[in-house]
Structures are given as structure tokens and as C-alpha cells.
Amino acid sequence: MQLTTLMGLRPIAAAGLLVTLTRRCPLSCAHCSTGSTMAAEQLDADRLRRFIASISSDTAPQVVLYTGGEPLLRPELLAELASSARTAGSATAVLTGGFFVRDGGVPDRIWQALLACDHVSFSLDAYHEREVPRAGVFDCLQALLDAGRQVSLHIVGQGPEDGYLQDVTSAVLARFGSTVPMLVSEVRPVGRAESWLNSQPATVLDARPRPCSLAAWPVIAFDGTVLACCNQRVVDTRPVPGHLLLGHLDTDDWPAIRRQLTQSPMLRLLRTSGPLHLQARFGSGAGCAGYCQSCRQLSEDPAVLAGAALVAAGPAGELLDREVGLLQHRAGAASLVRRYGSSRYADLVMPG
């Protein structure tokens, strides 16, 4: 699965599933949005096995993406879950920090887990490079390419003028040409970065429809809670805003989670028009500044809940949800990166 394919599926409801395999990580990157450590929590393996086993061919997501923390701390479990998902028809992707290349070479148990995945993406940035050598990441990418796997890089920097971004993207192109696509984004003041990165200027409130593609894939969080949003503040905060809570591994399987995601009127309207439009159209009072901040408060306004149910609960809401997702899909992966990542480097997500 190419990175462009994976990113192109992001606006399609239930086309993907994000799984936090563990919150543990042996690295201590200064910008880590999850604040991961080796003492952090991780889900019991059997709970994950049961959930992935509940995926059947008739409703399978096209891709299951494993992340962390560092998912390659559990290589055997990753390989097992990848095999289970593949049986149902889902491809597997993994995002890793590459801790295992620090000493040269890749341990066999980790190499077998990498080969079990259809797509392998490495995080690469100035903060990772303090602990993981770029050369080791490049060598592992080359080995995976030689083994017939699709690979990519997730790169972050401090804005489009960050010299690191120019340096690392040029190095990737020089080494790999068009065979290693890059998803380039910017560091956000979340997790460890919140203590040192200045907050971004508040965005101007704009109530025109602006679809939220991040409400399209379920996210299994560190404690087994399943959410409709991958925003780190939502993933970490309890209780979860009601409209963004899909269920829990202890009580819900994939069909139930998928049904809640695709049939919720609130989520349908978030995916088609966004929270600010929803708030302006149905809200009973003044909204707050910010796109995501506004979304987190929607459940507190009964007028918004009632308005969403009236407009989007039936077949018309289902049709609108599907068509808006397809419009974004047809716009392509680079269009999505321009909205959520670095516009200057958006085209690097595409091979060639």
C-alpha cells in the first residue's frame, strides 16, 4: 500500500483503523505528543486480539495502522495482528521511531514484524535524530524496499522555513529518488512540546463548511477506549466528549464501532461541514475560538445534538457523508496534507 493510497483513504469513514499498540517507548524525543516512556501503560494483548479478530471481510477497513508509543516494542504481537487483519482483507501499516537501528542492523524478531506489514513508515526529525541515526533509518528503508515493502517517512519541523526540513527532504531525494514518499508536518504544542513550543496564533473563526477528515477513522487509545478523533488532547482526556466516544474494547467489537462511527449524525456532520459550521448553524450560544476547541465542546450543547439528529440521521445524511468523503478522496493525498501538514512540502507525499 503506497502512502498516497493510505492518505487518500483518510477522509473515508471507516476506511481505516488506528491502533495504539503501546504507549511505551525507549526514546525521549523532546517533541513527543504522547509523552511516552518505558513505564507507560499498554493494552493487554488478548483484548487487542479479540478486537482485530472481530473484523470480517464484509466490513473490514482497508487498512489498520499501528502506532504508539513504539509499536515495535511488541513485534510478535504486531505480526500476529497483521496476519489476523489480512485474513479479513485489511492491509497493515506501522509507524515507528526506529529505535532498533541505533546499534546497527535490525534484530530478527523486529525484522519479521516489519515484513509482516504492507507499509512501514519511520518518524524522522531533528528530535529523533538526537537518539536514532539518520543513516540507520535510511539503511533499514533500503532493506525494506529490497524486500518488496512499501515505505515512507513522517517528518516534522518547526514551520515551512525550518532549515532541517530542507536538509532532510533533500537527503531523502538524493538517496531514494521517488521511492520513499514523505509526509511533512509541523510540531504542535502538545505533549512534551507544550512546555517549550510557543502556541500557534488563534485561527480566525470561519463558519463556512470545512470538513474534518480526522473524524473518519476509529482510534483505539491506550486504555482501550475507542474514539472518533486522533487529536492528542481528545485521546488523552477523560471523560471523552460524548460525540467523539465510540466504545471500548471490553464491550464493543469492530462491527459495533464501525456502526457507531458511520451512523452517528454528529460525526456525519463533522466529516461533511466541520465543528464551526455545526456550531453556527445549530448552537444555542456563542462558540469558542478554534476549530478543534469548538468540536470538543459540541456535546455540551443540546441544541447542536438535536439539530444534527434532525438533519443527518437518515439516508440523506448517509449520502452526504459518503459523497463529501469521496470528493476529498478524489482531491488526492497532497490536498489533505495541505490542510493538515506542511503545504510547502505537500507534494512529497506523492511518488515522483
What does the pLDDT look like over 313-328, one tens digit per residue?
999 999 999 999 999 9
Residue 206 pLDDT grade (very low, low, confident, very high; cuts 50, 70, 90): confident
pLDDT (0 to 100) of residue 188:
83
Alpha carbon distance 223, 210 (integer Å): 31
Helix axis angle, 302-312 to 275-282, nearest 10°: 100
**What's the pLDDT at 30?**
86
Q: Is the pLDDT of residue 203 over 60?
A: no
pLDDT tens across 46-57, in order? 999 999 999 999
**Whether the predicted pLDDT of 261 surpasses 60:** yes
Q: Which residue has the higher pLDDT, 179 or 197?
A: 179
One-letter amino acid identity for 3?
Answer: L
CA-wise closest residue to 10 among 271, 225, 227: 271
Superfamily of domain 3-200+332-349 in the CATH hierarchy = Aldolase class I (3.20.20.70)
Taking only the tens place, the pLDDT of each residue in 212-243 is 999 999 999 999 999 999 999 999 999 999 99
Q: Is the dihedral of CA 216, 257, 52, 81 positive or negative?
A: positive
CA distances for 179 relative to 9, 90, 120, 222, angstroms:
20, 23, 13, 33
The grid coordinates of residue 166 equal: 530542507
- pLDDT tens for each residue of 140-152: 999 999 999 999 9
Domain with CATH 3.20.20.70 in the chain: 3-200+332-349
Least confident of 82-91, 202-211, 224-233: 202-211
Provide the b/e sequence for 159-169 (b: ≥16 CB within 10 Å): eeebebbeebb
- Tell me what the mean pLDDT of segment 55-74 comes to: 96
Tell me the average pLDDT of the chain: 93
Q: How far apart are CA 206 and CA 38, in angstroms?
A: 41
pLDDT digits (tens, 9 = 90+) for 263-287: 999 999 999 999 999 999 998 765 5
User: Which pairing describes strands 225-227 and 245-248: parallel, antiparallel, or unpaired?
Assistant: antiparallel
Has residue 83 got a pLDDT over 80? yes
| Model pLDDT, residue 35 | 84
Condensed to tens digits (0 to 9), the pLDDT of residues 103-130 reads 888 999 999 999 999 999 999 999 999 9
Residue 288: pLDDT above 80? no
